[in-house]
Structure 1
Amino acid sequence: MRIVFMGTPDFAVPSLQALINAGHEVCAVYTQPDKPQGRKQILTPPPVKTLAQAHGIPVYQPQTLKNEDAQAQLRALAPEVIIVVAYGKLLPKAVLDIPPRGCINVHGSLLPRWRGAAPIQWAVIAGDEKAGVTTMQMGEGLDTGDMLLTCETEIGARETAGELFDRLAQAGAELLVRTLEGLDSVVPTPQDDSQSCYAHMLDKQMAVIDWTKSAHEIDCLIRGLNPWPVALTTLHGERLKVYAARPVDGKGAPGEVLVSDAKKGLIVACGAGALALEEIQLVGGKRMKSADFLRGHAVEKATVLGESKE
């Protein structure tokens, strides 16, 4: 099948590779423009561009698909179908109407739950027991098109958003190939809008830990924000990143340090229960196990995390 592929981040890479491996004719790849990254702000291509170039596939990086020139260019490629995987841009109706077999999206959730930009992270943050991938025929709304195929998986009790992200990227690639193989026989299923919820983009403001919440809720937040933007609190007024924690028994004022021991680690009271902080990092320092951290940093019992520095 002659395909134009639209995608940008790591999540889209397995899907593009799966299309190539399956023998489809990927005639072009559309991806976001290169962006500066890191402290030195080095201009860096998206992962999808890197893979496309390795296979000699033409790459297009328009700022928008809303103008006539971009749309004319896309029509000239004459794709039978457009595949969209985490592209990062909404497609206007003029683009949706170009391929005769339609535009198919691979979305990292069990739609209609978690429409939007960060469905995998929000599934973890919300404490969902299951996650998955859905392929759908794209419409003009945000992740509102008719569903084609789905696959689901249980979210591990200690699984981070990053780990689930990697698993669902592979699952999505496999589901995409199956969807194209059965495109003539798959019956599209409309989404039930009443069951939908929105997964808005992550930001650093939501990373601040509210210790009045339960240990379970905070644990889900910590796992859902790993690897980015990483849950955050303060210790003696200094920012402390929390990469991993584990709910344990304990009771005290929210944020109160209940145990501070180089062998037992750091245990902090929550609104209900407590958390054993397993991997932490003072901003500017190294990420390390809490037991190792305590060998070089004095943290007295009854210290309260999250308090501002006097």
Structure 2
Amino acid sequence: MKIVFMGTPDFSVPSLKALAESHDVAAVFTQPDRPKGRGKKLSMSPVKELALQKNIPVHQPEKLKNNNEVFEIIKSYQPDIIVVVAFGQILPKEILQLPRYGCVNLHASLLPKYRGAAPINWSIINGEKEAGNTTMLMAEGLDTGDMLLKDSIKLDENINAGELHDILASRGAKLLIDTLEGLEANNIVPMPQNDSLSTYASMLSKEMAVIDWNKSAEEIHNFIRGLNPWPVAYSYYENQMLKIYESEVTSQKSTEKPGTVIEVSKSGIKVSCGMGVILIKKIQLPNSKPMYVKDYINGNDLKVKALLGKEK
């Protein structure tokens, strides 16, 4: 198939790589270079880096909507199909209708659950026992198109969003190849989504990452792993921001106020929650790197009975 590929972040890279090895990727569309890091140096997207390595033409429009120039560029490639993987822009109707096989999107959830920007994170935050990818024919709504193929995996209770991201990115590439083969052979029956079962996975922000210690140990554990590696769940210890990367649910109970540090050892920091006790294993305080509690307490003090919570 002759493909126009649209994608931007790391998640899209395995898909582009797989498609470039098995099909004719005529062009890549990705987001414009953005300032990154402390120096705010302009950086290209991971998809652009791979496309340049493979000598695939790259286009970086600020917007697709009401952009006739972009429409004409895509049309000039005469794609059989447009493949979209975490591109970051909504495709207008005239582009959706352009290719012979339409536009296919790889979405990192088991649709219709977790439509939207952050399906991997919210599936973990909400304590789902399985996750996966869905390929779909794109429609004008947000992740509302007819479903093509699905691939699901069972979730370990300690997997974090970064680990699940890498697994789904890799498996998604294979699902895409299977989807294109199925469309070409005309043996996939598109299945409409049941909108009444849909849920929305909103964008993440640093502001939403503060821990509510009144929640149960299990809910807080899910929150911590769902926000690792970004934006990272946090609380405050003696007015310093305490980022928490790794935790574990214990079988302990506590009558202490939620947020109270009840024990500090090489195993970690035990904190009383609204229900149960959580063991915090990996932390980061200001001006230091993320480290395991067993390493941190070698040269630093963490007080038992301290109350974690909001900045005073």
**Larger deviation: 246-255 or 134-143?**
246-255
The answer to whether the 8 A contact 2:267-2:281 is kept is no
Q: Does 2:280 match 1:281? A: no
Q: Does 2:203 match 1:190? A: no
The answer to whether the 8 A contact 1:91-1:140 is kept is yes
Structure 1 residues 75-154: aligned runs within 5 Å = 75-154=75-154
Q: 1:260 aligns with which of 257, 264, 278?
A: 264
Per the TM alignment, residue 156 of structure 1 is displaced from its structure 2 partner at its CA by 1.1
Instruction: Report the Cα distance in structure 2 between the residues aligned to 1:205 and 1:42, rounded to whole angstroms.
Output: 25
The answer to whether the 8 A contact 1:130-1:153 is kept is yes
SS of 1:148's equivalent? Answer: strand
Who is 2:230 aligned against?
Answer: 228
Q: Does 2:67 match 1:65? A: no
Q: Does 2:293 match 1:290? A: yes
Aligned length: 307
Who is 1:247 aligned against?
Answer: 249
> Which residue identity is paired with 2:257?
A
Per the TM alignment, residue 294 of structure 1 is displaced from its structure 2 partner at its CA by 2.0
Consecutive unaligned residues of structure 1, counting only runs of 5 or more, are none
Who is 2:11 aligned against?
Answer: 11
Per the TM alignment, residue 103 of structure 1 is displaced from its structure 2 partner at its CA by 0.2
The answer to whether the 8 A contact 1:265-1:294 is kept is no
Instruction: Report the Cα distance in structure 1 between the residues aligned to 2:80 and 2:309, rounded to whole angstroms.
Output: 55
Per the TM alignment, residue 297 of structure 1 is displaced from its structure 2 partner at its CA by 2.3
Instruction: Report the Cα distance in structure 2 between the residues aligned to 1:220 and 1:283, rounded to whole angstroms.
Output: 24
Who is 2:50 aligned against?
Answer: 51
Per the TM alignment, residue 283 of structure 1 is displaced from its structure 2 partner at its CA by 2.1
SS of 1:142's equivalent? Answer: coil
SS of 2:297's equivalent? Answer: helix
**C-alpha offsets along residues 22-44 of structure 1, whole Å, 9 cap, x if unaligned?**
2x110000000011111011111
The answer to whether the 8 A contact 1:110-1:134 is kept is yes
The answer to whether the 8 A contact 1:124-1:220 is kept is yes
The answer to whether the 8 A contact 1:266-1:291 is kept is no
Tell me the percent identity: 51
Instruction: Report the Cα distance in structure 2 between the residues aligned to 1:13 and 1:286, rounded to whole angstroms.
Output: 28
**C-alpha offsets along residues 129-172 of structure 1, whole Å, 9 cap, x if unaligned?**
00000000000000000000000001111100000000000111
SS of 1:3's equivalent? Answer: strand
SS of 1:295's equivalent? Answer: coil
Instruction: Report the Cα distance in structure 2 between the residues aligned to 1:235 and 1:115, rounded to whole angstroms.
Output: 35
TM-score by length of 1: 0.97
**C-alpha offsets along residues 60-107 of structure 1, whole Å, 9 cap, x if unaligned?**
000111211111111111101000000000000011011111000000
> Which residue identity is paired with 1:258?
I
Consecutive unaligned residues of structure 2, counting only runs of 5 or more, are none
CA RMSD of aligned residues (A): 0.9
Q: Does 2:245 match 1:205? A: no
Who is 1:218 aligned against?
Answer: 220
Who is 1:35 aligned against?
Answer: 34
SS of 2:213's equivalent? Answer: coil
TM-score by length of 2: 0.97
Instruction: Report the Cα distance in structure 1 between the residues aligned to 2:153 and 2:120, rounded to whole angstroms.
Output: 12
Q: Does 2:239 match 1:237? A: yes
> Which residue identity is paired with 1:254?
P
Provide closer, same or farther for how the CA distance between residues 264 and 135 of structure 1 changes in structure 2, counting only shifts above 3 A.
closer
SS of 1:134's equivalent? Answer: strand
SS of 1:182's equivalent? Answer: helix
SS of 2:87's equivalent? Answer: coil
Instruction: Report the Cα distance in structure 2 between the residues aligned to 1:27 and 1:6, rounded to whole angstroms.
Output: 11
SS of 1:69's equivalent? Answer: helix
